[in-house]
A and B are shown apart, each in its own frame.
Chain A
């Protein structure tokens, strides 16, 4: 594979896929340990109405309003779930099910009712993204990586997901100890004077930011898969939190690279003409990794 082919067409989607996978897998580790894995599922559903509303208000597909809209929708969803759980005395799983399906339905309906034909916003895109279309047309080969003119033509999604991934890594490093303590023993964390409620909410907000940034580039299905599969697989490999986080990053990267390559080139190897959905394939590979660790992972059993 020559640089003239690879750099313009595959490098950027590959990078975006990797960054999105890592950005989702990192908070996913803590969601899994807190038994809140399905928060990721809920968030990635409610992002849709937020983005649609942001589009209807501003009239354009711009990054910042969409990010704000999606974050607002995520917060509304969390508040609604908590409200139904507390005031209605309904168990959290069912409360979540009520809120995210209704908000997703509202998003689909608004999308179908409003005129979005002029812009690239539809339900299919929301579900499985458009990783393959994020190509870097200004690039001619590896040399373009040092060419400022060509670099200016990079798809904006790359910059956004890179910033979000860095932000998540930084937040994780900064709040590692309180996050770890409150995840494993909330009562102990509270006696130490840690604001456990704020830490829990912060984790949800960080997850929402990761979901929105990844959603923008790769669609909600990868978001859910990456929140859950790599951390779950890592959980079956090790008992130590640091190792689990590192393993989950490794699994996320393997899923993204292998999934992208299999989707782009796998059908060609099998003699078919066209590629298949990269987002779907990345989710599939992460599932295969989880299946392998569930069958043979050293720490797969309950103690």
Chain B
């Protein structure tokens, strides 16, 4: 069943929903990247919660006019209007009053959501049909979706993605360096508007699939996960799109094969799983790689310091140093150097002495700045320069046994 859903074998509607969720995920991940780089990720939280009153008002208006209140297109249009109002309120509060942006975000999201809840209870009292569809917008539900809804979601996801592709350059520049963007002739205000418009679009399309409480996760988690894999903005957007797309696709498939589960949480948890994998296993910034790097560095320092102690006949008290030296067969467990160890110790001491001389000599000032206790001097200076240093030191001396 799950595999059928993954390979789009579960009928036309489910396939469209899966495709729509995947497109939505790609669009959300790519859009969220710019929001994340602009350090305004949580603005999307305010926008998504602010959709609720618009949805409810649209429903009430349609019911009063005598139509079926479940028309997804009109509900989404209503949600876009109130999301825009919420966004304007955040901008106004944080620019015109002394409140910081986070306070403005929190105020807008709670007040708009609270007002939406009031309107939802009004709808419950109106005794009209089709209210169940509104509850589905809180946490997302793809079960029993109409064909027209699925088309709307798929088309909306594709449109959002196309817009991201068109505007990726100005959005990248504006999110990294607004000042440079301005001097390069990019209208930063308008670019921000496009970015926020895209966030709103993704939120509105995502209402039905992910739900308004969790859509923000699809805008935040994929970029944060993607950031672990690369240092380049365009690749972050690309990878974030991929992570979002996979989350949407897998999440929709799981939800399609187990109809009682709300779609939103499954999509979000899939994204979170990918985030955890990135946090742990990404090559440059991942925790595992960082752990290995740290171990290697620690090992290098201990062996170097241990060799210097052996060379100068000092006793070694640090158990880790002794362990590492014995493992390399440079010393015995009682801290006495082996033949191999004595040779390496002599070389380490020579290297250290050369560094001392180099750091005293103004001529080598630039190279000497690279002294960190681990780098070999041969990596920094030429053989001629080393010979010049050696002339000051004199010939090699034996190491006391």
Q: Measuring CB to CB, which residues of chain A are less than 8 angstroms from any residue of chain B?
A: 32, 35-38, 40-41, 84, 87-91, 93-98, 101-102, 104-106, 108-109, 112-113, 123-124, 127-128, 221-222, 224-225, 227-229, 232, 235-236, 263, 267, 272-277, 279-284, 286-287, 290, 294, 297, 299-303
Whether A97 touches B107, Cβ cut-off 8 Å, given contacts A106-B269, A236-B98, is: no
Contact A228 B125 (CB under 8 A): no
Partner-contacting stretch, out of B34-42, B59-67, B391-399 = B34-42
Whether A41 touches B224, Cβ cut-off 8 Å, given contacts A236-B97, A263-B118, A281-B114, is: no
- A179 nearest CB across to chain B (Å): 18
Mark each residue of chain B from 120 to 136: 1 if its CB lies under 8 Å from any CB of chain A, else 0: 11100100000000010
CB-based closest 8 A-B pairs: A283-B114, A287-B111, A280-B117, A101-B217, A97-B220, A225-B110, A105-B265, A105-B268
A91 to B217, CA, bound (A): 15
For the A-B complex with A96-B42, A222-B114 known, give 18 more contacts whose Cβ atoms are closer than 8 Å. A32-B100, A37-B103, A41-B109, A93-B40, A97-B221, A102-B271, A102-B275, A109-B266, A109-B269, A221-B114, A228-B106, A229-B110, A229-B111, A276-B122, A277-B117, A277-B121, A280-B117, A300-B96
* B264 part of interface (Cβ distance < 8 Å): yes
A282 to B117, CA, bound (A): 11
A12 to B369, CA, bound (A): 72
* B354 part of interface (Cβ distance < 8 Å): no
Contact A102 B110 (CB under 8 A): no
* B290 part of interface (Cβ distance < 8 Å): yes
Contact A97 B41 (CB under 8 A): yes
- A47 nearest CB across to chain B (Å): 14
Residue of B nearest to A132 (CB): B121
Contact B117 A128 (CB under 8 A): yes
Contact B224 A32 (CB under 8 A): no
Residue of A nearest to B103 (CB): A37
- B123 nearest CB across to chain A (Å): 10
Q: Which of A32, A112, A123 contacts B103 (CB 8 A)?
A: A32
- A-B pairs with beta carbons under 8 Å apart, 20 shown: A35-B103, A88-B224, A98-B220, A98-B272, A98-B275, A101-B268, A104-B265, A105-B264, A105-B266, A109-B262, A112-B262, A123-B139, A221-B110, A228-B107, A232-B107, A236-B97, A274-B121, A280-B118, A286-B111, A294-B93
Q: Which of A104, A263, A281, A299 contacts B98 (CB 8 A)?
A: A299
- Which residues on the B side are within 8 Å of A93 (C-beta)? 39-42, 102
Contact A236 B99 (CB under 8 A): yes
- Which residues on the A side are within 8 Å of B217 (C-beta)? 97-98, 101-102, 105
- Which residues on the A side are within 8 Å of B135 (C-beta)? 124
Contact A228 B272 (CB under 8 A): no
Which residues from 324 to 342 on chain B have a C-beta closer than 8 Å to any C-beta of chain A? none
A128 to B268, CA, bound (A): 22
A32 to B104, CA, bound (A): 10
Contact A41 B111 (CB under 8 A): no
* B116 part of interface (Cβ distance < 8 Å): yes
- Which residues on the A side are within 8 Å of B111 (C-beta)? 225, 229, 283-284, 286-287, 290
- Which residues on the A side are within 8 Å of B109 (C-beta)? 41, 224
Number of interface residues of B (CB under 8 A): 61
- A112 nearest CB across to chain B (Å): 6
Contact B115 A283 (CB under 8 A): yes
Residue of A nearest to B108 (CB): A287
- Which residues on the A side are within 8 Å of B272 (C-beta)? 98, 102, 105
Residue of B nearest to A275 (CB): B121
Q: Which of B102, B213, B269 contacts A35 (CB 8 A)?
A: B102
A89 to B228, CA, bound (A): 9
Contact B103 A94 (CB under 8 A): no
Residue of B nearest to A229 (CB): B107
* B188 part of interface (Cβ distance < 8 Å): no
A90 to B36, CA, bound (A): 10
Whether A109 touches B265, Cβ cut-off 8 Å, given contacts A87-B290, A232-B99, A300-B98, is: yes
- Which residues on the A side are within 8 Å of B36 (C-beta)? 91, 94
Contact B265 A106 (CB under 8 A): yes
A228 to B99, CA, bound (A): 11
* B113 part of interface (Cβ distance < 8 Å): yes
- Which residues on the A side are within 8 Å of B220 (C-beta)? 94, 97-98, 101
A38 to B269, CA, bound (A): 22
* B261 part of interface (Cβ distance < 8 Å): yes
Contact A88 B216 (CB under 8 A): no
Mark each residue of chain B from 77 to 116: 1 if its CB lies under 8 Å from any CB of chain A, else 0: 0000000000000001100111110110111011111111
Contact A35 B100 (CB under 8 A): yes
- B40 nearest CB across to chain A (Å): 8
Q: Which of A35, A84, A109, A281 contacts B118 (CB 8 A)?
A: A281
A32 to B97, CA, bound (A): 14
* B227 part of interface (Cβ distance < 8 Å): yes
* B198 part of interface (Cβ distance < 8 Å): no
- Which residues on the B side are within 8 Å of A279 (C-beta)? 114, 117
Contact A36 B41 (CB under 8 A): no
- A60 nearest CB across to chain B (Å): 24
Residue of B nearest to A89 (CB): B285
Contact B106 A224 (CB under 8 A): yes
A235 to B93, CA, bound (A): 12
A124 to B211, CA, bound (A): 13
- A280 nearest CB across to chain B (Å): 3
A265 to B93, CA, bound (A): 31
- A279 nearest CB across to chain B (Å): 7
Residue in B98, B221, B271 with the greatest tally of chain A CB atoms within 10 Å? B98
Whether A101 touches B114, Cβ cut-off 8 Å, given contacts A84-B279, A87-B290, A300-B97, is: no
A128 to B115, CA, bound (A): 11
- B304 nearest CB across to chain A (Å): 27
* B138 part of interface (Cβ distance < 8 Å): yes
Q: Which of A90, A224, A227, A283 contacts B224 (CB 8 A)?
A: A90
